[in-house]
């Protein structure tokens, strides 16, 4: 990358950890202690919890000492009696309930032709023609399922989202379809708020001021209430990275309904983030530009006129989360054959609001074996032992894999459910990785066949 006046080299030296046994590599910038908050990484110096043990049930391979419980599978009956468990399990989060209970809210990324839609429920349905939405599970203090019900229905392509500081879930529609398209009766492409304990409290109200575009994930600054949003657009020009400035920040359930300003990130002289290849490269003059038409009434936001300086795009903007004093977001991959400026197998970026600085902190290198973990990061969260837990959404075998604070990649789980054929096997991606409030249980979804797992074991080892 040719350096411009807006690019500085951080004091920390980037180093690359070549992981021959895992078939991948990862480069990261210096000390990521702010991101990797926690105790010493698991099995210090050994990069994880050990090799995966084949599951005799053929569902989920885990390291020795860990075990799983299947909480829910698509096609089973919802305990509420409202119909069948929908398919296409995607983003998810866990919330503390009373008496040690845990509430899980789970997205269903269903399109207009979904085979297992979210059941239409009066008072919880936005558009009866929408097949997506969320379901909510309530677990007791021992992890057993007490209840499972529809939390919102009539939405479309509910991909990821994010939790709020006041204990609700923001579910994101990854579509721009308008009323009259694919049978829809209302415009889609919005964020909706879901109360995991009482879905009728939030209903099915689109948060229109937060924009209408192909949403992926969100993260909220817990001190300022600013909401950061990623866009996973399918075609060039690719998606943008946004922030939403609420009129009533941190005001509880009504905070985001009160309106606000939607802005898109501009990195001067960088129209495409994939062009940045230097680990630790930082941009100290990040700008935020008001979105001309947040509802995209005539033109998708990423195609709107942001002035002569343009706006910054990136392919496959997906996971987004808040850690320490920064927001982190993921680009799963970039392919020049599809229109990106350069190729990569996954990036993680950090934006520091106080300094207005954007830094490339992690780059995933090409794997030598697609049956091994370490490419195409998607949903992502902090692990209780320090480091990251990442859902892989690439080719070949699909894993949940960890990244230690030293930049080591290690396998945490492998999906063994073959949705292909014995001759040409295929495995569904993982999604929605999250931890219980006490950090003792990892919850994660297999996208297809839709399966929600609870994984317990020596997480703090």
The confidence score (pLDDT) of residue 394 equals 79
Domain count, the chain: 1
Nearest-5° Cα angle at 40, 70 to 374: 55
The confidence score (pLDDT) of residue 32 equals 46
* Residue 242: its H or E element: strand 241-246
In a domain, 450, yes or no: yes
Tokens of 420: 């292909």
The confidence score (pLDDT) of residue 47 equals 67
CB 267 within 8 A of CB 329: no
Burial bucket for residue 449 (CB in 10 Å: 0-12, 13-18, 19+)? middle
pLDDT tens across the length of the chain (461 residues): 333 323 222 222 222 222 222 333 445 444 444 554 322 222 333 568 999 999 999 999 999 999 999 999 999 999 999 999 999 999 999 999 999 999 999 999 999 999 999 999 999 999 999 999 999 999 999 999 999 999 999 999 999 999 999 999 999 999 999 999 999 999 999 999 999 999 999 999 999 999 999 999 999 999 999 999 999 998 899 999 999 999 999 999 999 999 999 999 999 999 999 999 999 999 999 999 999 999 999 999 999 999 999 999 999 999 999 998 999 999 999 999 999 999 999 999 999 999 999 999 988 876 545 566 677 899 999 888 778 899 998 788 899 999 888 778 899 999 999 999 999 999 999 999 999 999 999 999 999 999 999 999 999 77
Predicted TM-score (pTM) above 0.85? yes
In a domain, 8, yes or no: no
In a domain, 461, yes or no: no
CB 155 within 8 A of CB 107: no
Tokens of 24: 């991948």
User: How far is Cα 150 from Cα 232, in angstroms, rounded to an integer?
Assistant: 26
In a domain, 57, yes or no: yes
The confidence score (pLDDT) of residue 405 equals 80
User: How far is Cα 318 from Cα 141, in angstroms, rounded to an integer?
Assistant: 32
Q: Is the peptide bond before 449 cis (omega within 30 degrees of 0)?
A: yes
* Residue 200: its H or E element: helix 199-202
In a domain, 443, yes or no: yes
The string of pLDDT tens digits covering residues 352-382 is 999 999 999 988 876 545 566 677 899 999 8
CB 84 within 8 A of CB 95: no
Could you tell me what percentage of the chain is helix, strand and coil, using 3-state DSSP and rounding each to the nearest 5?
Answer: 5, 40, 55
The confidence score (pLDDT) of residue 367 equals 57
Q: Which DSSP string corresponds to 157-172?
A: -EEEEEE-TTS-EEEE
What CATH number is associated with residue 367?
2.120.10.30
Q: What are phi and psi of 161, to 5 degrees?
A: 160, -140
Tokens of 74: 């698509």
| CB neighbour list of residue 295: distance below 8 Å, 6 or more residues apart | 187, 208, 211, 212
Q: In angstroms, how far apart are the furthest CA atoms of the chain?
A: 61
In a domain, 9, yes or no: no
CB 313 within 8 A of CB 331: no
CB 432 within 8 A of CB 158: no
CB 397 within 8 A of CB 414: yes
Which CA distances in Å does 421 have to 222, 336, 415, 417, 425? 46, 31, 15, 11, 5
Residue 435: domain span:
15-456
Tokens of 434: 């999250």
- In 10 A of CB 351, how many CB atoms? 19
In a domain, 4, yes or no: no
Q: Which DSSP string corresponds to 49-109?
A: S-PEEPPTTSSEEEETT-EEEEEEETTSBPTTSSSBPPS-EEEEEEEE-GGG-EEEEEEE-
In a domain, 231, yes or no: yes
Identify the bridge partners of residue 136 per DSSP, sorted by sequence position. Answer: 105, 149
CB 49 within 8 A of CB 42: yes
């Amino acid at each position: 990358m040719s350096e411009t006046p807006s690019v500085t080299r951080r004091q920390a030296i980037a180093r690359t950890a070549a992981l021959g046994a895992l078939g991948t590599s990862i480069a990261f910038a210096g000390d990521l202690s702010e991101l990797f908050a926690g105790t010493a990484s698991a099995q210090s110096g050994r990069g994880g919890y050990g090799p995966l043990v084949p599951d005799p049930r053929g569902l989920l391979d885990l390291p020795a000492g860990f075990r799983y419980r299947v909480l829910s599978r698509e096609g089973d009956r919802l305990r509420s009696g409202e119909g069948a468990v929908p398919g296409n399990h995607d983003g998810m989060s866990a919330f503390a309930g009373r008496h040690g209970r845990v509430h899980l809210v789970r997205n269903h990324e269903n399109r207009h032709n979904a085979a297992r839609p979210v059941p239409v429920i009066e008072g919880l349905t936005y558009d009866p023609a929408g097949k997506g939405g969320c379901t909510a599970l309530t677990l007791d203090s021992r992890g057993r399922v007490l209840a499972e019900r529809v939390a919102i229905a009539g939405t479309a392509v509910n991909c990821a989202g994010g939790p709020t500081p006041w204990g609700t879930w923001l579910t994101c529609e990854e579509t721009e379809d308008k009323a009259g398209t694919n049978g829809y009766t209302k415009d889609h492409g919005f964020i909706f708020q879901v109360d995991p304990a009482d879905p009728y409290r939030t209903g099915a109200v689109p948060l229109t001021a937060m924009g209408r575009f192909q949403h992926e994930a969100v993260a909220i600054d817990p001190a300022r209430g600013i909401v950061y949003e990623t866009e996973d657009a399918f075609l060039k020009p690719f998606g943008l990275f946004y922030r939403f400035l609420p009129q009533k920040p941190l005001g509880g359930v009504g905070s985001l309904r009160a309106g606000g300003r939607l802005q898109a990130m501009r990195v001067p002289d960088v129209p495409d983030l994939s062009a940045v290849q230097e680990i630790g490269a930082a941009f100290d003059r990040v700008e935020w530009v008001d979105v001309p038409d947040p509802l995209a009434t005539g033109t998708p936001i990423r195609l709107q006129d942001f002035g002569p300086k343009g706006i910054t795009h990136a392919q496959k903007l997906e996971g987004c989360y808040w850690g320490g004093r920064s927001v982190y977001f993921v680009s799963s991959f970039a392919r020049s054959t599809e229109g990106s400026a350069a190729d990569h197998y996954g990036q993680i970026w950090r934006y520091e609001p106080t300094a207005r600085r954007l830094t490339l902190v992690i780059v995933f290198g090409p794997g030598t074996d697609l049956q091994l973990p370490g490419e195409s990061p998607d949903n992502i969260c902090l692990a209780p032992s320090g480091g990251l837990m990442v859902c892989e959404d690439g080719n070949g075998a699909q894993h949940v894999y960890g990244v230690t604070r030293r930049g080591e990649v290690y396998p945490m789980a492998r999906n063994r459910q073959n949705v292909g054929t014995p001759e040409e096997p295929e495995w569904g991606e993982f999604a929605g990785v999250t931890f219980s409030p006490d950090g003792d249980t990892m919850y994660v979804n297999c996208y297809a066949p839709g399966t929600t797992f609870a994984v317990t074991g020596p997480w703090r080892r």
